[in-house]
Amino acid sequence: MKKILLYCFLVAFYSLHLFAQIPQSADSLASYLKSAPKDTNYVKALNDYSWLLVEQGKYNLADSLATQSQHLAIKLHFKAGEYGSLNTLGRSAYIQGMYPKALKIYEKNLQIAQKYQLPLSTLQNALANFAMINQLSGNNEKALEFSLKSIKIYENNHLPKLSGSPYDVAASVFALQGKIDLAIEYLKKTLEIKTRDQNYRGMAISANRLGNTINQKGDPKKGLVYLKQAEQYAEKVGYMQVLPDILINQSNAYRAINQPAEDIKALKKAEQISKKIHTTHQLGAIYGNMGQYYQHQKQFGLSEEYLRKALKIFEDIGSLEYQGYLYQALTEMFVDKGDFKSAFLNQKVAKQVNDSLLSEKQLANMNELNARFESEKKEQQIKLLQQDAQIKEQQLAQNKFWLAGGVLVLLLASAITAWLLNRARLQRLQETLALRNHIAADFHDELGATLSSIAIYSEIATHENGSNSQKIQPILKMIAESSRSTVTAMNDMVWSIKPDNDTMTTVVQRMKDFAIPLLENQSITFEFITNPSIESLIPDMTQRKNIYLIFKEALNNTAKYAEATHVSVHISYLNKQLQMLIRDNGKGFDTETVKQGNGLKNMQKRAQEIKGHLSIVSAPLAGTEIKLMCPLP
């Protein structure tokens, strides 16, 4: 028995000794790898070495060694080693701006961590990395989902160290949504964690992001304090990769407080570092900021040149977020220059990119994710309280302190009551937040682009006035049409928000008020049939808005394109389903070959938003039938 114990001790000692022999510096790692046996410690050392090479900007060599490490780890069935090699490959791809490649690598690493039940610290890191690359790729909904999962694992399991930057990713998404105070709260949390751990690299990243977010809030002097701290942290540990980002954000702060000499100095230093370490995405951001710097200096030729160079980089990378910023920057530059036609064209593209980046549905989903995360945090705290109460109750029961036990029961009941009240409060907050976001998104989508277009049309008209009167008339016509469209959209939104209009009867009346003058003007006869069962229905704001707007879009299409002489509308209610049937006897169309415009797409999108189903049946010379089915309890 003693021999067996001695043998086990020696094996354990030998294993620990081997692990302890893995060096830390790049030179000593390179020397160690020349003679070390090809075992799991070799894989760990090779991963450490390739990671350091990435930090030094030697990406090709790092990728080659990390790939060797991956193959050896697979051969040894060493999943933690395989994870480490992929982590290096993912970081290398991300730093070089190869986001699609990094996304695939980080997704595979997350699958490995989950499938093989690697330690919770590894899973937390995998979730953080996957969140980060999704945010950079423009998928903010996924970024928020996985960053909150990473934070949950870190907080609930009291992990000793935070890996990656999940708080920072969540903060970036919150800032994009306009929730600047919430973003600052998350960034202060991560800076506090990394300062406690004396993680200077992490401190540099978090102080940089915090300073930049405070800049966005409109306090560049305070933001600059954090940005200078971030620069000091990065230089203290030679963290070159983050320095260009810090300097870019410093230039924004200097521009805001009108210090152009410091502004361009920071950008030139950032450009020099970025070229040295070959960080493509940072170089794109630097060129974008240079474009804005030269715009402020009224050097429009240089401004456009740098903005176009930046745009080319981010189109190649596939970063939608930065493309949206750059098209908006081009719009502002052309307005400043007086080239309103180019401004209008770039603004249209900017809106398309930004709409795809953060749709109304994504906003709602992200708000739900955050509300659910906060709710689960509260529930976790209450569970801990309940567990503590149970332990105390057992102790008191053992000592037969029945009076104290009774008090404990009351406390527990109070905690449960507080939990129930807290859940109800969170639910009400979530509903209120969702409603506010719906209204804000509607005003942004329906009115923002139209009002911006009116402003640009007006600038063009002012510019052309007196030089070419023939060009002014169509511009004025566009202004009038856009204005009418804005007023109509405003009326529809106000109507959908007012609580006086919360019955299906008022929805039907508004449908008739819209349809009768529209169709009579086209000499189209109109038949409107409603089942009495719908009179008692009370749809919520989202339902009545979308039901009405689907009806309105369908009638507009009929009046414009169908060449119909008769339209019938039938609305009924059966088995908790509202059915709206719109038929016309017009020329119809081939549903297989017709190109779906924004109108038909919007109708489908609105039906999905109320969990409904929209079908369109049509054929040449056979009229059109549009049928909406949606649940309405």
**What is the per-residue pLDDT for 12?**
37
pLDDT digits (tens, 9 = 90+) for 226-273: 999 999 999 999 888 889 999 999 999 999 999 999 999 999 999 999
Q: What is the DSSP letter of 596?
A: P
> Do 458 and 542 share a domain, yes or no?
no
- Of 604, 445, 625, 609, nearest in space to 539 by CA: 609
DSSP letter at 629? Answer: E
pLDDT recorded at residue 91: 92
Specify if 622 maps to a domain.
yes
Percent of the chain with pLDDT over 70: 71
pLDDT at 149 over 90: yes
pLDDT reported for residue 370: 59
Domain boundary among 424, 456, 490: 490
Query: Which pLDDT value is given to residue 375?
Result: 56
Say how far apart CA 87 and CA 112 lie, in whole Å: 11
Q: What is the pLDDT of residue 30?
A: 83
Specify if 396 maps to a domain. Answer: yes
Is residue 477, in this structure, part of any structural domain at all?
A: yes
Q: Residue 351's pLDDT is what?
A: 76
445: domain range? 361-490
Is 511 in the same domain as 617? yes
Picking from 213, 227, 231, 453, the residue whose alpha carbon sits closest to that of residue 346 is 453
Q: How far apart are CA 544 and CA 56, in angstroms?
A: 59
Total domain count, the chain: 2
Does residue 406 carry a pLDDT above 60? no
Do residues 38 and 48 make contact, with C-beta atoms less than 8 angstroms apart? Answer: no
DSSP state of 240: G
pLDDT at 146: 94
What is the maximum alpha-carbon separation in the chain?
Answer: 106
End position of a domain, from candidates 490, 511, 537 = 490
Shared domain for 467 and 509, answered yes or no, is: no
How far is Cα 358 from Cα 67, in angstroms, rounded to an integer? 36
Q: Region 375-401: what's the mean pLDDT?
A: 57
Does residue 9 carry a pLDDT above 70?
A: no
Q: Are residues 480 and 444 in the same domain?
A: yes
Per-residue pLDDT reduced to its tens digit, 275-302: 888 888 888 889 999 999 998 899 999 9
- What's the rounded Cα separation, in Å, for the pair 593 and 599? 16
| Tokens 């600052």, located at residue | 184
Q: Tell me the pLDDT of the chain averaged across its residues.
A: 79
pLDDT given for residue 601 in this prediction: 77
Residues 395 and 507 in one domain: no
Same domain, 484 and 509: no
Per-residue confidence band for 2, with pLDDT thresholds at 50, 70 and 90? very low
Please provide the size of the chain in residues.
633
CA–CA distance, 572 with 146 (Å, rounded to integer): 43
471 and 388 together in one domain = yes
Instruction: Clarify whether residues 365 and 476 are in a common domain.
Output: yes
Lowest mean pLDDT segment, chosen from 112-116, 178-182, 348-352, 404-408: 404-408
Contacts of 412 (CB under 8 A, 6+ apart): 386, 389, 393
Please check whether residue 436 lies inside any domain of the structure: yes
The CATH number for 594's domain is: 3.30.565.10
Give every strand in the sheet of 613-618, ordered side by side.
525-530, 566-574, 577-584, 624-631, 613-618
Residue among 408, 423, 415 nearest 374 (CA): 423
Q: Does residue 194 fall inside a structural domain?
A: no
Q: Determine the distance from the C-alpha atom of residue 293 to the mean position of all C-alpha atoms in its chain, rounded to a whole number.
A: 27
Residues 6+ apart with CB under 8 A from 68: 46
Residue 581 domain-assigned? Answer: yes
pLDDT of residue 307: 93
* Alpha-helical regions (H) of 399-468: 402-442, 449-464
Q: What is the 3-state secondary structure (H, E, C) of 526-580?
A: EEEEECHHHHHCCCCHHHHHHHHHHHHHHHHHHHHHHCCCEEEEEEEEECCEEEE
Tell me whether residue 601 is in a domain.
yes
Name the residue among 542, 541, 532 with its Cα closest to residue 505: 532
In the predicted model, is pLDDT for residue 326 greater than 60?
Answer: yes
Average pLDDT over every residue of 564-573: 92
* pLDDT at residue 46 tops 60: yes
| Percent of the chain at pLDDT exceeding 90 | 33
Q: Are residues 469 and 571 in the same domain?
A: no
Looking at the DSSP bridge assignments, the partners of residue 574 are 577
Mean pLDDT within 602-613:
87
Average pLDDT score over residue span 579-589 = 91
State the average pLDDT over residues 606-615. 89
Residues 475 and 440 in one domain: yes
Last residue of a domain, one of 436, 471, 490: 490
Asked if residue 242 is part of any domain, the answer here is no
Determine the average pLDDT of the residues in 118-135.
Answer: 93
Among 572, 574, 501, 586, which residue's Cα sits nearest to residue 540?
501
Residues 434 and 507 in one domain: no
Cβ neighbours, 10 Å, residue 43: 25
Instruction: Write the CB contacts of 368 (distance below 8 Å, at least 6 apart in sequence).
Output: 430, 434
Say whether both 456 and 513 belong to one domain: no
Instruction: Report the predicted TM-score, pTM, of the whole model to 2 decimal places.
Output: 0.48
